[in-house]
Amino acid sequence: MSDNNYALLNKEQKEAVFHTEGPLLILAGAGAGKTRVLAYRAAYLIEEKNVSPWNILMITFTNKAAQEMRERVISLADFGEEVWVATFHSTCVRILRRFIDRLGYETDFTIYDTDDVRALIKQVIRDMNLDPKMYKERVIAAWISSLKNDMITPEQAKKDALGNFRAMKEAEIYEAYVKQCRKNNALDFDDLLLLTVQLLQRNEDVREYYQDRFKYIMVDEYQDTNRVQFEFTALLAKKYGNLCVVGDDDQSIYRFRGADIRNILDFEKTFTGARVIKLEQNYRSTTSILDCANAVISHNRGRKDKHLWSELGTGDSVEFHQYENGYEEASEVIRKIRREVMNGAEYSDFAILYRTNAQSRAFEETCIGNNIPYRLVGGVNFYQRAEIKDLLAYLKTIASGKDDVATERILNVPRRGIGRTTIDRLKVFAQANDLSLMEAIEHAQNVPGIGKALKNLQVFSHMILELRHEDGDMEDLLRAVLQKTDYYSTLEDLEQEKRDQKRENIDELLSKARDFEDSWEEEHPPKLQDFLEEVALVADIDSLDESENRVVLMTLHGSKGLEFPTVFLCGMEDGLFPSYMSLNTGDPMDIEEERRLCYVGITRAKHHLYLSAAKARTLHGEVNYNLVSRFVREIPDDLLGLSRKVEKKYMPPEPRSVYDQAAFEQSVNPKPASFGKSFNITKAAVLPFGVGDRVRHGRFGEGTVTAIDEGKKDWEITIDFDEVGTKRLLNSIARLEPLND
């Protein structure tokens, strides 16, 4: 790479590229070109510092970001393809595939997704004869995840629970879950990081091997790292100290997932002698948009001082509109989009962003009513759809017979006369003889009371054995599964539209398998485990096809890392954004996180930004009348094109510091006015279902209850529907039908 290439970088970007030795914190504001800096930095190490590309590790948070980074490095440096560019999870998987036997696992381990984890925890709770209404697998799964992210083992959890009966039972569930995962030779997403850290801590030779391998480490989106990711990075960088992290504390929005903003705020304290370089020139947005973003985020106390600026010109003013209700808001937003499309814009130029999934309904209905093509991001992930999970479960069982969760899922799919009683007897036999469920099936003739199901079990076992010896590539194997299992027969009783959707999803999986095969070199054909690993590590944002000409509807959390010519930031009302919960916890860090989320939303816009609120909004069957969001009120009037006057009252001073203990005892804001229900309801004394149960709704179909909130007049039920995603409904109106197992 010639020196002329560096002319594309500004002064601060050059400083970040050329500073290669020792710890470095690059504070990169939104749109400041951090991907370019990291790619050039890797190329500079290779081309100018003669560092072997084999000695460079670049870590990102999404496969999409990793792919973009990899392509840039390859375009800038010879042998750039040898740089290890991957997500945290992919990096750890590669390490564990080679050395996890040191921890007592086999290297062909399975990776569990959220549904697999919950299914296994539900089974553990059942095996321990605990009340599933009291110990809810969804809640327990989230709790276990948080413990693993904080590197707390089951043994430590049990010590911490001494004297507390319920806490002890939860710790025992954690312990049993970990043991069952080990028996199944399976890892969940948190295990990928936790076990890699344990591997490096306990095995000096492995630790030194990877420290010598990765002499230069770069980590993107460092503000989103949790404790175990911090420990992993610190362990690898300890020997040579050449750790470069890039991030923006103003875009730290994943505290609920365990992200610790202190990792970036305290970087200089943690890594002695660290240099800090700020990238404040924005290459994405106009000055008008950036001035609004700066005005909002400046109200946060727990941040490093930065001020975004741009040479792209002032641009159009940011507009704020207050509508009578949510449907008027949706109608006006869609009207604006239609007008701009008629003037030559593309539908894909527009993004509608909101705080909660519940807000999407009005926009979806308005898009449908106006024939506006749209893409709802954040619904059911492709790989979470029932038919896709069924086929992947077959592949997991073919790849390794140790995954009991996968085997149990497809043992009677399609129906082959193997009922619940038979499965329970198989599981008892497997547990008593230290076998996997698949091994128990292979020895079904020895299972007490197996009866008439024996023949069906033997047919299933023989079919799996045949599929393991199937010739051909990944697509051929999938087609063989579909043919030998007669899987399409499971779709025959569905309505035509739903049947066609599921067939289309299956065709898409076949296309994915074909593309996967094509991406590998002929001399290194992929294994089935490689395919399962790739699909297991796909994130929601990775599936966003930006080439589709559709309006994008998504939550603010989902928008991070994306950009659009025009953004509509909707529902800007206190109580919605920021949420009631963050307003009433008394924890100023909650408000600061919400403000960072607003900052992220504002900085997604390149040319045009519209903020909107509703005087009255109906959500979850309740009409609320809220003040315009404090985040709008924090923007000076001269920066907004106002269609309604924004009231500036009710703006109490916020705590001096998010780390000041006294701040936690202050009341952040009085609760906004709520004018109750728009109808009369009678609360049910007892619900016929609980969290984790399956229910059917007349309009949305079947789903799983994920949360139940007890209001004064009615129950609020949160349901993860199979086809339409998550909805929150009032029990008295929803008329939910419980479904028996």
Retrieve residue 240's tokens.
Answer: 């040579």
Is 198 marked active-site?
no
Specify whether the CB–CB gap between 219 and 244 falls below 8 A.
yes
Residue 239, helix vs strand vs coil: coil
State the Cα–Cα distance between residues 609 and 569, nearest whole angstrom. Answer: 7
Retrieve residue 416's tokens.
Answer: 């082959």
Question: Which one is catalytic: 251, 286, 322, 397?
Answer: 251
Chain Cα centroid distance, residue 277: 29
State the Cα–Cα distance between residues 67 and 64, nearest whole angstrom. Answer: 5
The distance between the two most distant Cα atoms of the chain, rounded to a whole number of Å, is 81
Specify whether the CB–CB gap between 450 and 427 falls below 8 A.
no
State the Cα–Cα distance between residues 28 and 226, nearest whole angstrom. Answer: 19
* 721 φψ region: left (φ > 0), alpha (ψ -120 to 50), beta (else): beta
Query: What is the enclosing helix (H) or strand (E) of 730?
Result: strand 725-730
- Nearest of 185, 182, 174, 189 to residue 125 by alpha carbon: 174
Question: Which one is catalytic: 113, 220, 329, 349?
Answer: 220
Q: What are phi and psi of 690, to 5 degrees?
A: -135, 180
Question: Which one is catalytic: 221, 260, 403, 439?
Answer: 221
State the Cα–Cα distance between residues 195 and 188, nearest whole angstrom. Answer: 10
Query: Could you give the angle at which helices 189-202 and 204-213 cross, rounded to 10 degrees?
Result: 100
Residue 84, helix vs strand vs coil: strand
Q: What are phi and psi of 275, to 5 degrees?
A: -100, 145
Is 566 marked active-site?
no
Retrieve residue 591's tokens.
Answer: 């408000």
The CA-atom distances, in angstroms, between 278 and each of 18, 40, 303, 505, 563 are: 14, 17, 13, 45, 21
Question: Which one is catalytic: 14, 15, 20, 35?
Answer: 35
Question: Which one is catalytic: 604, 606, 617, 633?
Answer: 604
Question: Which one is catalytic: 34, 64, 72, 402?
Answer: 34
State the Cα–Cα distance between residues 404 and 301, nearest whole angstrom. Answer: 49
Is 34 marked active-site?
yes
Specify whether the CB–CB gap between 70 and 87 falls below 8 A.
no
Query: What is the enclosing helix (H) or strand (E) of 40?
Result: helix 34-47
Is 545 marked active-site?
no
* 704 φψ region: left (φ > 0), alpha (ψ -120 to 50), beta (else): beta
Specify whether the CB–CB gap between 251 and 30 falls below 8 A.
yes
Check residue 315 and report its DSSP letter. Answer: -
Retrieve residue 729's tokens.
Answer: 């409904």
State the Cα–Cα distance between residues 709 and 179, nearest whole angstrom. Answer: 32
Is 251 marked active-site?
yes
Is 604 marked active-site?
yes
Cα Rg, the chain, nearest whole Å = 27
Residue 637, helix vs strand vs coil: helix
State the Cα–Cα distance between residues 284 and 290, nearest whole angstrom. Answer: 10
Catalytic residues: 34-35, 220-221, 251, 604
